[in-house]
Structure 1
Amino acid sequence: MKHIVTVHDAVTAFEPWREPTAAELDAIEQEMPLIEAGVELLDAQITTLDRTPTELDARRIRRARRKVLAARRALTNTTVVTAEVGA
């Protein structure tokens, strides 16, 4: 009989060199408006899962989708401008 054993130490071991770098933290900070807009959209969609969406729910979802698209556009434009300046 074979025993299945988890590799607990490898999963939960503290490795200080595995912390995010400053560049990674900056990238996360730059993407934060998109992340927050995505969470808002998910929240609006989740509230309508167990009921029939009302007109107010539909407006909330549309507004959240527009916010996600605007955040994506802003992030893309920022990334393109940064890439052109850095090139």
Structure 2
Amino acid sequence: MNDIATAQATVTAPAPWADPTPAELAAIDAEMPVIRAEVELLDAQITALDRVPNELDARRIRRARRKVLAARRSLANVPSFVFNPGGAA
């Protein structure tokens, strides 16, 4: 009878290319304000879906949209030598 556990280590061993490179980590770090702002917008939109939207929900969505736009604008204004869009993921 063959032991399956011996082959398991070779199947699930981490590949050296699977870890993100420092450049990819830097790109993710640069995009993190945009990601957080988009999550906040999504949370506001989900909250408005759960009930009849009121003025407070509308303000929260508008504020979240402005944060997303501001984060995208600041990311777009980063010099290309610091961040190369499309280089990660």
- Same fold (TM > 0.5): yes
For 1:60, the equivalent position in structure 2 comes to 60
Report the identity percentage. 72
The aligned amino acid for 2:39 is V
> Over residues 30-80 of structure 1, what are the superposed CA-to-partner deviations in whole Å (9 max), with x where a residue is unaligned?
0000000000000000111121111000000000000000000000011xx
RMSD (Å), alpha carbons: 1.7
| Runs of 5+ consecutive residues of structure 2 not aligned to the other structure | 1-10, 82-89
For 1:82, the equivalent position in structure 2 comes to 80
Alignment coverage as a number of residue pairs = 71
- Take 1:13 and 1:51, find their aligned partners in 2: how far apart are those partners? 47
User: Tell me, what secondary structure is at the counterpart of 2:50?
Assistant: coil
Question: How far is the alpha carbon of 1:15 from its aligned partner?
Answer: 1.7
The aligned amino acid for 1:53 is P
User: Tell me, what secondary structure is at the counterpart of 1:17?
Assistant: coil
Higher RCO by CA contacts (8 Å cutoff, separation 6 or greater)? 2
Moved over 2 A (4+): 11-14
For 2:37, the equivalent position in structure 1 comes to 37
The aligned amino acid for 2:42 is L
- Take 1:13 and 1:42, find their aligned partners in 2: how far apart are those partners? 36
TM-score by length of 2: 0.73
| Runs of 5+ consecutive residues of structure 1 not aligned to the other structure | 1-10
- Take 2:71 and 2:18, find their aligned partners in 1: how far apart are those partners? 29
For 1:3, the equivalent position in structure 2 comes to none
Query: Which structure's residues are more often helix, by fraction?
Result: 1
Q: Does 2:16 match 1:16?
A: yes
